A and B are shown apart, each in its own frame.
Chain A
Amino acid sequence: MADPTSSTLTSPASPKGETQAFIQLKDVCKRFGSQEVLRGINLTLQHGETLCIIGPSGEGKTVMIKHIIGLIKPDSGEIYVDGMHVNRLKEREMAPIRKKVSMLFQGAALFDNLTVEQNVAFPLLEHGIRDRSEINRRVREALQAVDLDEHRHKYPTSLSGGMRKRTGIARAIIDHSECILYDEPNSGLDPIGSDVIDQMILRMQRRFNVTSIIVTHDMRSVFKIANRVAMLYRGEIRFLGTPAELRDTSDSVVQDFVNGRSDITG
Chain B
Amino acid sequence: MDSPSGLLTLPGRTFLHFLVYLGQLTALMRELMIAVRSGVWRLKLVAQQIVAIGYGSQAVVIVTGAFTGAVFTFQSYAKFKDFGFETTVGAVVSVALCRELGPVLAGLMVAGRVGAAMAADIGTMKVTEQVDALRVMGVHPVDYLVLPRFLAMMVSMPFLVAESISFGLFASYLVTSFGYDMPSAWYMTHMLDHTNMEDLSIGMIKGFVFGMLITLISCHQGLAAENGAVGVGLGTTRAVVISSLVLLIVNFFLSILLNYVFPIGTV
Q: Are B140 and A92 in contact (CB under 8 A)?
A: yes
A residues adjacent to B (C-beta < 8 A)? 66, 69-71, 91-92, 94-95, 98-99, 101-103, 105-107, 109-112, 122-123, 126-127, 175
Which residues of chain B in 114-152 are interfacial with respect to chain A, using CB atoms and an 8 Å cutoff? 124-125, 128-130, 132-133, 135-140
Q: Are B132 and A98 in contact (CB under 8 A)?
A: no
Q: Are A126 and B129 in contact (CB under 8 A)?
A: no
Q: Are B128 and A122 in contact (CB under 8 A)?
A: no
Q: Are A102 and B140 in contact (CB under 8 A)?
A: no
Q: Are B132 and A71 in contact (CB under 8 A)?
A: yes
B residues adjacent to A (C-beta < 8 A)? 34, 124-125, 128-130, 132-133, 135-140
Closest to A95 in B: B138
Question: How many Å lie between the Cα of A53 and that of B90 in the bound state?
Answer: 74
Q: Are B128 and A71 in contact (CB under 8 A)?
A: no
Q: Are A98 and B140 in contact (CB under 8 A)?
A: no
Q: Are A92 and B136 in contact (CB under 8 A)?
A: no
Q: Are A98 and B129 in contact (CB under 8 A)?
A: no
Q: Are A109 and B128 in contact (CB under 8 A)?
A: yes
**B248 to nearest A CB, angstroms?**
33
Q: List 20 A-B contacts (CB under 8 A).
A: A69-B136, A71-B132, A71-B135, A92-B140, A98-B138, A101-B136, A102-B136, A103-B133, A103-B136, A105-B129, A105-B132, A107-B128, A109-B128, A109-B132, A111-B130, A122-B137, A126-B137, A126-B138, A127-B138, A175-B137
A-chain residues with CB within 8 Å of residue B125 when the two chains form the complex: 111
User: Interface on chain B toward A: helix, strand, loop, or mixed SS?
Assistant: helix
Q: Are B139 and A107 in contact (CB under 8 A)?
A: no
**A73 to nearest B CB, angstroms?**
13
**B10 to nearest A CB, angstroms?**
21
Q: Are A98 and B135 in contact (CB under 8 A)?
A: yes
CB-contact partner of A92 in B34, B124, B128, B137, under 8 A = B34
- Which 7 pairs of residues, A with B, have the shortest CB-CB distance? A109-B133, A109-B129, A98-B138, A95-B138, A105-B129, A123-B137, A103-B136
B-chain residues with CB within 8 Å of residue A111 when the two chains form the complex: 125, 130, 133
Question: How many Å lie between the Cα of A99 and that of B133 in the bound state?
Answer: 13
Q: Which of B124, B125, B138, B140 has the most CB of A within 10 A?
A: B138
Question: How many Å lie between the Cα of A208 and that of B82 in the bound state?
Answer: 88
A-chain residues with CB within 8 Å of residue B139 when the two chains form the complex: 126
Question: How many Å lie between the Cα of A123 and that of B134 in the bound state?
Answer: 9
B-chain residues with CB within 8 Å of residue A112 when the two chains form the complex: 124, 130
Question: How many Å lie between the Cα of A183 and that of B140 in the bound state?
Answer: 22
CB-contact partner of B137 in A70, A102, A110, under 8 A = A102
**B125 to nearest A CB, angstroms?**
8
Q: Which of B34, B133, B135 has the most CB of A within 10 A?
A: B133
CB-contact partner of B136 in A98, A106, A107, A110, under 8 A = A98
Closest to B143 in A: A92
**B23 to nearest A CB, angstroms?**
17
Question: How many Å lie between the Cα of A101 and that of B128 in the bound state?
Answer: 20
Q: Are B128 and A94 in contact (CB under 8 A)?
A: no
Q: Are A91 and B140 in contact (CB under 8 A)?
A: yes
B-chain residues with CB within 8 Å of residue A123 when the two chains form the complex: 137-138
Question: How many Å lie between the Cα of A126 and that of B137 in the bound state?
Answer: 8
Would A71 and B138 be within 8 Å (CB), given that A92-B34, A111-B130 are in contact?
no
A-chain residues with CB within 8 Å of residue B140 when the two chains form the complex: 91-92
Question: How many Å lie between the Cα of A81 and that of B3 in the bound state?
Answer: 49
A-chain residues with CB within 8 Å of residue B138 when the two chains form the complex: 94-95, 98-99, 123, 126-127
Closest to A111 in B: B130
Question: How many Å lie between the Cα of A8 and that of B177 in the bound state?
Answer: 76
